[in-house]
Amino acid sequence: MRIATWNINSLRARMDRVVAFLERHDVDVLALQEIKAKPAQLDLAPLTAAGYEVAAHGLNQWNGVALISRVGLSDVRDQLPGVPTWPEEDGVVEARALGGIVGDGLRIWSLYVPNGRELEHPHYAYKLRWLEALRAEGARELAADPQARAILCGDFNVAPLDEDVWSMEFFEGKTHVTEPERAAFRAVVEAGYADLVRPEHPGPGVYTYWDYQALRFPKREGMRIDFLLGTPAVEAALTGSFIDREERKGKGASDHAPVVIDVDL
DNA sequence: ATGGTAGAAATTCTA
């Protein structure tokens, strides 16, 4: 089974690219982030015509997540238990998580972790609390069944290692690289969710995101912030992985590249 | 000229 995650930065603007990607790489399951639409605004015909089921969750023009599968899609959940609201006072649960069961009992979560904005901004504290809720839900699932097949994937908005950004000097005093964010990411890994791509594709210089500004992509100035994390049962079934850097090229590309894994499940 | 784009929705917000 081939599974991918991709921050699409508007599904409506890039439906053609999504369909072409699915067909080019023979993808079974795709987790999307930043679909930037309510489900009613989407024309899903190109996906259903290609043989996929779709679950989409979006409240407005911001955030939004989706799951696309041709190997079944059931038990769909649009909220990660325990996540904070935004704003934290009198706010709502944003559309940043969508879970479902695909294939033979594989749980997958499409996740769009809050950006954090600036270190002093309330969004940064929100981001850390959100990641803690993710860790707690992941830990709960593995505690219930140590053999559980589960994947947590998406845009984590954290660069876990110095080598995951093009310049630590540039990111001094900025989000994505701070120790609290990295500790929150590590806590998810330590709860039993291993990075399924890094072992085959170690850094430095291996990225999944390049800012639209300042010619970051041609200058190879990117960040590794998109991940697929898997339980031990998934890790044991892993047969390969790649980052589709080609997808970042050309007119109309998302600022993120898809990340793909193959599992013998 | 301060190096700065992209998407959605509505002149601004988010990333």
From the Cβ of A37, is strand B under 7 Å away? Answer: yes
Is the pLDDT assigned to residue A87 strictly greater than 90? yes
The alpha helices in A100-219, defined as continuous H runs, are 122-144, 179-190
Fill in the DSSP letter of residue A92.
Answer: B
> What is the residue type of A65?
V
Cβ-based contacts (< 7 Å) between A 209-228 and strand B: 212-215
Provide, rounded to the nearest whole percent, the portion of chain A with pLDDT above 90. 99
Q: What CATH number belongs to A2-263?
A: 3.60.10.10
For residue A5, what are the CA distances in angstroms to A27, A129, A147, A229? 10, 23, 23, 11
Instruction: Encode pLDDT of A148-196 as tens digits.
Output: 999 999 999 999 999 999 999 999 999 999 999 999 999 999 999 999 9
Domain ranges of chain A: 2-263
From the Cβ of A33, is strand B under 7 Å away? Answer: no
Question: What is the model's pLDDT at position A156?
Answer: 98
Cβ contacts of A40 within 8 Å, gap of 6 or more: none
Instruction: Calculate helix-pair angle for A179-190, A122-144, nearest 10 degrees.
Output: 10
> What is the residue type of A245?
R
Is the pLDDT assigned to residue A9 strictly greater than 90? yes
Question: What is the model's pLDDT at position A90?
Answer: 87
> What pLDDT band is residue A119 in, cutting at 50, 70 and 90?
very high
Burial class (CB in 10 A: 0-12, 13-18, 19+), A70: middle
